[in-house]
Structure 1
Amino acid sequence: MKIGRYPLHHGGVGAIRSLGRVGVPVYAVTEDRGTPAALSRHLRGRFVWPTTGAEPPEQLLDGLTRIATRIAEREGRPAVALPTDDEAAILLAEHAERLDGVLTAPTVPPELPRALAGKQSLHQLCSTHRVPSPGSRLPRSLDELELATKELTFPLVAKNADAFHRLSLPAVGSSTVLDDPAALERLAGHWGDTLPRVLLQEYIPAADSEDWICHLYCGSDPDGAADLVFTGVKVRAWPARGGVTAYAYSVANPELAELSSRFCRAIGYRGICDLDWRLDRRDGRHKLLDFNPRLGAQFRLFQTDRGIDLARSLHLDLTARHDRLGEAGYGTPVDGRAFTVEILDLPARAAARAGHRSAELPADPRWAPPRHPSAHELAWTSADDPLPALAAAVRSVPSALHVLRRALRRSRPT
């Protein structure tokens, strides 16, 4: 489930395929009948329920309860909830009592997902638990915005500070790098007299950094027996500086895995999460950029030698099947896998060739990119499930043409 309108969501398609292939009956909330996820052959049922994120919580809860009740009546048991965006994760956590009995979800402190998805509140949690993170400011007025530009060093990254606000009152379309005060002034010109909830964050220079990701399932067992941790390197993103992962590979980084697990335990987090880290080569520390309290879109990059990924681990744990796996448990994370989002990696490659990268590849040979990936997962293309890729290709044409037009305009001589 997700809230808001973004039909080109490969993470949801990945979850449907992963669970459907092992016989789990999967249902999805979709924007319309032609959404790529709605066309997967591994889907047992879909519920067309277009939302914007601007609805009152009560309205969202009523819709979700109706859907969950229909699934429970059809299957004879409550469904396991798998949020694929921050807003859905927040809704599930903050209203767990209302949904108890019709949906099964990890038990998490009600206020925690909102605090983790919020950029400034995440920074405060990092400070409390001594987890490195970039310096940031959340200006509450135009005067504070002007003061922040004097106290922080450019370049800066502008981010929407809160979940839900990014759908209803976005400050920026996505994370935006501001090279100088003039870039911030141009951006602020679109905001008018009312300052949106925008976070200004220190930007670690590309030449001095590496982009890392850590995906975890923090299980219901207090001793961590049902936990699963993966680490990998983000090679390309779109947009090039601070966008969605377009190409990545898996590699074991025990230090980062332990840092991520320790932070999750300290704050009492349960469930799936997707953490974006940046290694600052200037001081040798991994700094936490984002904590997504839900399934990451690129989660299919990671799986164990027993074929377990995060969607399957959550389902095994919450349906009390984890103990049936035996002593080997989920198995061992597989290094050297690769993951490509086809419709994003084409422009990301072009940007990289033009010198636009968000970070460098790891300098340590232990973490070098695999020459021959042990497996290469494509976000959309699948021989046993072709329709989502076809629908995604059709729906991506308008945005691709828009990007092409912008590139052509920039290349024209003045």
Structure 2
Amino acid sequence: MHITPVVFLGANYYTGLSGIRTLGRRGIGVIALDYDFSTAYGLVSRYVQRRLLCPNVNTQEHELVDFLIKLACDLGTKPVLIPSHDAYALMISRHSEILSQHYLFHHTAQGLLEQIVDKKSLYVLACEHNMRMPLTLFPADSEEDEAAAAEMTYPCLVKPSISHLFVKVFRRKLFIANNRKELHEALRLSREANLDVMVQQLIPGFDDRMFVLDVFIDQAGQATHTMTAQKLRQFPANFGSSTLTHQYPVPELLEPGVSFLQRIGYRGYCEIEFKRHQESEEFYMIEINARLSTLNSLFDACGIEYPYIMYRDLTGDPLPPVNLDKHLNYAFYHFYEDIFSVRQYLRTKQLTWKQVVKPFFAHRKVYAVWSLDDPLPSLFFFKLIFAKAWRKITSPFKPKGPQKA
């Protein structure tokens, strides 16, 4: 029997690694692509059938499209195409017309993915469809800066429209402004870097008031697989990626989240992040991830294998619907990053040692990188970590270059 292969875009992060494992464990041939083998620890997974060096999605988008077309022609079949990062998802969206002739992937309305990934246009979209989000302002000049500073409560957030561009410049996801002066400074720095940013209300509450709704919407527009989870810790603390998250039923998120995605015409898998206001108890949508989640290993443990669900839908053999509405007591754990998040929580007195330790005895854990049946990526990952640490330790002792006269 012919098994349709998968071309997997991006293997330098545990998002891609976990997706590769999901499909490989199902006996599906995975062809993994990355533009930098030196850091792509997902490529050494036992579940990768072929490893290919591809053009850089950030600087060689058209060359990457040509590369993918040639790959599909060489395979002599129409593979499933799965992105593990926003940059790959956006590339597929922009070139969907030509790529759909060679690959199977879920189509959304033209330009919808760009709207979702861009936080500014997502806010506009949410307002149009009555989806609650934190108050967000878009000052474009000094006069509008003053108006925004007067209207906002503090602390507030200065967030980028496109996250990965902001992170590349500032090595952080956002700025926190505790007063008007800090807000003006954050806006100035962002404009100097030619980055489009917004000013957003900060929803009060600790990180355990962050929740995710993960949904798969089939090609007919039906939400066939849903589950929710609650974040417990993040790195960086308060505004980062999850380091400890457990599966937890939150039925109040299903109707607003699913109906919003259906109204805007979304197809395929996505994750909506919410925060519950500590006073009003209302849920606010924070962002949408239109590619595989960093929590994929948690979903696998709970029996909701989203990459496989996508695969079966695209190959014309969909799985029976599942809404996970019971607590299975699994938790996602990123051992390495959680060390740093715990340090931040303790230093800022947001958690005590007792609160840090308690979750370790409360859940069955699945890990971001480590897997007993696939240990090599973990060894590669820690090799990268040790190499980075060694460079940091030895850099003060390395001879400097010649001084300019």
TM-score, normalisation: structure 1: 0.82
Q: Which residue of 2 aligns with 1:184?
A: 183
Q: Which residue of 2 aligns with 1:411?
A: none
Q: Which residue of 2 aligns with 1:19?
A: 23
Q: Which amino acid in structure 1 is aligned with residue 85 of structure 2? A: D
Q: Are residue 38 (structure 1) and residue 43 (structure 2) matched?
A: yes
Q: Which amino acid in structure 1 is aligned with residue 346 of structure 2? A: R
Q: Are residue 174 (structure 1) and residue 173 (structure 2) matched?
A: yes
CA deviations over 1:74-108 (Å, ceiling 9, x no partner):
3x421211122222222212321111221111121
Name the stretch that deviates more: 395-404 or 199-208.
Answer: 395-404
* 1:354–1:246 distance in 2 versus 1, CA, 3 Å: same
Q: Which residue of 2 aligns with 1:112?
A: 112
* 1:165–1:355 distance in 2 versus 1, CA, 3 Å: closer
Query: How far apart are residue 209 of structure 1 and its match?
Result: 7.5
Q: Which residue of 2 aligns with 1:394?
A: 383
* 1:136–1:38 distance in 2 versus 1, CA, 3 Å: same
Q: Which residue of 1 aligns with 2:258?
A: 261
Q: Which residue of 1 aligns with 2:370?
A: 381
Query: How far apart are residue 158 of structure 1 and its match?
Result: 2.0
Secondary structure at 2:316's aligned position in 1? coil
In the TM superposition, 1:66-77 aligns within 5 A as 66-71=67-72, 73-74=74-75, 76-77=76-77
Q: Are residue 352 (structure 1) and residue 345 (structure 2) matched?
A: yes
In the TM superposition, 1:245-324 aligns within 5 A as 245-303=242-300, 307-322=303-318
Equivalent pairs: percent with the same residue? 22
Highest relative contact order (Cα 8 Å, sep 6+), 1 or 2?
1
Query: How far apart are residue 245 of structure 1 and its match?
Result: 0.8
Query: How far apart are residue 186 of structure 1 and its match?
Result: 4.4
Distance in 2 separating the partners of 1:86 and 1:125: 19
Q: Which amino acid in structure 2 is aligned with residue 62 of structure 1? A: E
Distance in 2 separating the partners of 1:115 and 1:106: 16
Q: Which amino acid in structure 1 is aligned with residue 109 of structure 2? A: P
Q: Is the 8 A contact 1:2 1:87 kept in 2?
A: no
Name the stretch that deviates more: 232-241 or 189-198.
Answer: 189-198
* 1:188–1:330 distance in 2 versus 1, CA, 3 Å: closer
* 1:102–1:278 distance in 2 versus 1, CA, 3 Å: same
Query: How far apart are residue 179 of structure 1 and its match?
Result: 2.4
Q: Which residue of 1 aligns with 2:122?
A: 122
* 1:271–1:201 distance in 2 versus 1, CA, 3 Å: same
Query: How far apart are residue 112 of structure 1 and its match?
Result: 0.5
* 1:24–1:319 distance in 2 versus 1, CA, 3 Å: same
Q: Are residue 340 (structure 1) and residue 330 (structure 2) matched?
A: no
Secondary structure at 1:259's aligned position in 2? helix
Query: How far apart are residue 32 of structure 1 and its match?
Result: 2.3
Query: How far apart are residue 330 of structure 1 and its match?
Result: 4.8
Q: Which amino acid in structure 2 is aligned with residue 120 of structure 1? A: K
* 1:377–1:396 distance in 2 versus 1, CA, 3 Å: same
Q: Is the 8 A contact 1:217 1:228 kept in 2?
A: yes
Distance in 1 separating the partners of 2:132 and 2:191: 34
Q: Is the 8 A contact 1:32 1:50 kept in 2?
A: no
Secondary structure at 2:297's aligned position in 1? helix
Q: Which residue of 2 aligns with 1:362?
A: none
Secondary structure at 1:134's aligned position in 2? coil
Count of aligned pairs: 378
* 1:263–1:83 distance in 2 versus 1, CA, 3 Å: same
Q: Which runs of 5+ in 1 are unaligned?
A: 359-367, 405-414
Q: Is the 8 A contact 1:217 1:272 kept in 2?
A: yes
* 1:298–1:223 distance in 2 versus 1, CA, 3 Å: closer
Query: How far apart are residue 184 of structure 1 and its match?
Result: 3.2
Q: Give 1:238's match in structure 2, choosing from 235, 239, 251.
A: 235
Distance in 2 separating the partners of 1:222 and 1:129: 17
CA deviations over 1:171-225 (Å, ceiling 9, x no partner):
663133232334334444544657520122111123597111111111113444x
Name the stretch that deviates more: 295-304 or 99-108.
Answer: 295-304
Q: Which amino acid in structure 1 is aligned with residue 345 of structure 2? A: A
Q: Which runs of 5+ in 2 are unaligned?
A: 1-7, 352-357, 394-405
Taking only aligned residues, the RMSD between alpha carbons, in angstroms, comes to: 3.0
CA deviations over 1:4-57 (Å, ceiling 9, x no partner):
xxx75111000011101111111222132232011111101122235262x3xx
Distance in 2 separating the partners of 1:403 and 1:243: 23
Distance in 2 separating the partners of 1:47 and 1:265: 36
Secondary structure at 2:209's aligned position in 1? strand
Query: How far apart are residue 142 of structure 1 and its match?
Result: 3.8
* 1:237–1:295 distance in 2 versus 1, CA, 3 Å: same
Q: Is the 8 A contact 1:158 1:198 kept in 2?
A: yes
Q: Which residue of 1 aligns with 2:354?
A: none
Q: Which residue of 2 aligns with 1:47?
A: 52
